[in-house]
Structure 1
Amino acid sequence: MAAKLHPHDKRKVARSLQVFEETGISHSEFLCRQRAEEGGGPLGGPLRFPNSCILWLHADQTVLDKRLDKRVDDMLAAGLLDELRGFHRRYNQEKVAENSQDYQHGIFQSIGFKEFHEYLITEGKCTPETSNQLLKKGIEALKQVTKRYARKQNRWVKNRFLSRPGPSVPPVYGLEVSDVSKWEESVLEPALEIVRSFIQGRKPAAAPVRMPHDETENKRSYHMCDLCDRIIIGDREWAAHIKSKSHLHQLKKRRRLDSDAVTTVESQSISPDCDKELKEKGSPGQNGEELRPSV
């Protein structure tokens, strides 16, 4: 299992060790047994509820971004700042004073709190203008990270369910929610029809979402880039790495060093006799000879 997990992925490494500690079975053996079960596949064991489906609500990115911005504005209007101040006063203020704050673990890493760190720790200690600027900065950061997280969620759905389908992956039915004025006919009614079809054991009229994929792709393959001194897990990640700017920069640097080394070796490989002959001849203009301009 160690070869399938990135050494920097502490969460997955810890989980793998936890499986062995609690069951006495290595994580790799545990997964192997799951895949061998009827209905299992490359991603794991069979589904707990075999007759299941996924309803994926998706919208145009521009429309979604506007909704997410409005969502943040609505949260602020509903009292988000008061909630943040109270949480900061009860759980965070002392940690900040002790310089022991860690926004990478637990609830403190949640979206919506750490973005207002500067505003919260300086509120009442700076000018109103500065405080207002920090507040605007926090609001903008919250909007940006919220939109970034939404994109990450969509990528996860595509990578987990669409790009790597298998027997243990339920069908995904897309529902377009860009125009909420058409919620009944575009979302609710199609969703109910899909669910009824599954309950009644018949094939839905709507087709599930399909994406082109490579069946030979291995998401757990191990690659070591000696050039960059990095470990890469997954065929897709490896393909992206060897095309990345950092890798190409290291490749160019290595080629330049190799070229310089070859030039140095060639200059040092001149025979002593040849070198002596060149010195005796000297450069043009020596030994009484003068350079004459060509006509």
Structure 2
Amino acid sequence: MISFVDPLISNYTVVDFRNKAVSIIEEIFSRKKIPIIVGGTNYYIESLLWKVLIDTKPETLFENTSSLNAAAVVDHTGEESITLDRKAELEKLDSQELHRQLSEVDPEMAARLHPHDKRKVARSLQVFEETGIPHSQLLHQQRVEEGGGPLGGPLRYENPCIFWLTAAQAVLDERLDKRVDEMLTLGLLEELQEFHRRYNEQKLNENSQDYQHGIFQSIGFKEFHEYLTVGDSCLESTRAELLQRGIESLKQVTKRYTRKQNKWVRNRFLQRPGANIPAVYELDATDVSQWELKVLAPALSIINSVIKGEKPVFDPLKTEESQKGQPENKHSWHTCDTCGKVIIGDREWRAHLKSKGHLHHVRKRRKLDCEAQSAEQDSSTTPSGCATDSSKKLEDNHTKTEASCPV
């Protein structure tokens, strides 16, 4: 399943991917072989590990937390059909209005989603419109199924195991930079230019560039947008500068994405214990000269043990409680009046309170409060203690949780 979808197809969804991949996996099983899924986009892998797709209409499938458009579906005859992309229509609404509508039909899901996350809000609203059942209720039904758990429905296949190849961050960053350089050598720019000629140019003329859906979400397109659309009249020096800027941006985004992937593994597997969590084995790929010893041999040993129904000699990573003592609420709402932001989740709230942006606004607010207090006092009076008083008020204000929506 590499290079089998034309880039111009913008409505290829996780449902299409799952249907195609599952059929291949079943064919591999029928030959008494073991399918190995390599990659990639973790969200797509989830659709294979768990039964997480929600049926809406008999001929249509929608994913429970998808951020992709659902337009192409496969019916019982195997033929592809096109359905109305209701989610795309909903996303055209104002964020607050969209969230308000969801609050009316599914207040529990609305409390879990940030008002600015239009994709997920629209998806939940669409699921309700298609099924007549609140999205949160459908998710709850999945979790209470036999074999279900915190990540949704039961596992699709028995005894899956996940090999998590890790590497020292400095080593990984260097590899990623070299990987981008190699992609350029192998013709990345030529591929982008060809795609631009076929599709992007028309969209540019229509002023309808959309980097939120389809292939434009892939790393490599947005980063070279200015270089590809600069025009023939541009100076060669400017063109070269835009190219270099695109290359550096691609390297930065690629490294950022790998950190996001690692975070996904920790959050989805290691910090959410449950019966439907596959075993995760960490393999150290920092030193490629030690590949057979540290990666290949352990992996083969683990697989052979799983096949025989035996316990592997290598232990999987243990799940861990995200916070000792009081359980962490991933869906709690916090309002930061200083920054004018809504933060969802206890961990995210703690991180926000320590962030540079928040501390900058606190200092700015403290200074303004001090100046206002000083102006009210007699010109001969020194505003002693004003910073301390303001600081204490701000500290008291931001160390408590302000729930602004029902949970």
Normalised TM-score (structure 1): 0.80
**1:86 — aligned with what?**
194
Q: Which stretch shifts more, 98-107 or 171-180?
A: 98-107
8 Å contact kept, 1:123–1:131: no
1:29 CA displacement: 0.8
* Paired residue secondary structure (1:122): coil
AA of the residue aligned to 1:228: C
1:263 CA displacement: 7.8
1:60 aligns with 2:168: yes
| In 1: Cα distance, 2:355 partner to 2:255 partner | 25
1:179 aligns with 2:287: yes
**1:164 — aligned with what?**
272
AA of the residue aligned to 2:188: L
**2:76 — aligned with what?**
none
| In 2: Cα distance, 1:23 partner to 1:64 partner | 45
1:125–1:29 CA distance, 2 compared to 1 (3 A): same
1:31 aligns with 2:139: yes
| In 2: Cα distance, 1:122 partner to 1:265 partner | 55
1:21 CA displacement: 2.6
| In 2: Cα distance, 1:69 partner to 1:258 partner | 47
1:10 CA displacement: 1.6
| In 2: Cα distance, 1:255 partner to 1:127 partner | 48
Query: Share of identical aligned residues, percent?
Result: 65
Instruction: Encode CA deviations 1:259-279: one digit per residue, 9 max, x unaligned.
Output: 778788998xxxxxxxxxxxx
| In 2: Cα distance, 1:132 partner to 1:248 partner | 39
Pick from 333, 341, 344: which aligns with 1:233? Answer: 344
1:2 CA displacement: 0.6
1:221 CA displacement: 2.1
* Paired residue secondary structure (1:43): coil
**1:13 — aligned with what?**
121
1:242 aligns with 2:242: no
**2:159 — aligned with what?**
51
AA of the residue aligned to 2:269: F
**2:384 — aligned with what?**
none
1:100 aligns with 2:208: yes
1:175 CA displacement: 0.8
1:154 aligns with 2:262: yes
AA of the residue aligned to 1:184: E
For structure 1, the residue ranges without an aligned partner over 5 or more in a row are 268-295
**2:225 — aligned with what?**
117
For structure 2, the residue ranges without an aligned partner over 5 or more in a row are 1-108, 379-407
1:123 CA displacement: 5.4
Q: Which stretch shifts more, 238-247 or 74-83?
A: 238-247
Instruction: Encode CA deviations 1:39-85: one digit per residue, 9 max, x unaligned.
Output: 33333233222422211011111221222122212211211111111
1:255–1:180 CA distance, 2 compared to 1 (3 A): closer
1:121–1:51 CA distance, 2 compared to 1 (3 A): same
1:219 aligns with 2:309: no
8 Å contact kept, 2:150–2:272: no
8 Å contact kept, 1:47–1:168: yes
8 Å contact kept, 1:228–1:247: yes
1:163 CA displacement: 2.5
* Paired residue secondary structure (1:64): helix
| In 2: Cα distance, 1:159 partner to 1:200 partner | 30
1:73 aligns with 2:184: no
Instruction: Encode CA deviations 1:92-145: one digit per residue, 9 max, x unaligned.
Output: 113223433232332223211221122222353223333222222222221121
| In 2: Cα distance, 1:241 partner to 1:136 partner | 33
1:125–1:43 CA distance, 2 compared to 1 (3 A): same
Question: What pairs up with 1:186-205 in 2 under 5 angstroms?
Answer: 186-205=294-313
Q: Which stretch shifts more, 252-261 or 78-87?
A: 252-261
Instruction: Encode CA deviations 1:222-277: one digit per residue, 9 max, x unaligned.
Output: 2233443322211111111222334344445556666778788998xxxxxxxxxx
| In 2: Cα distance, 1:243 partner to 1:8 partner | 22
AA of the residue aligned to 1:183: W
Q: Which has the higher helix share?
A: 1
| In 2: Cα distance, 1:108 partner to 1:168 partner | 33
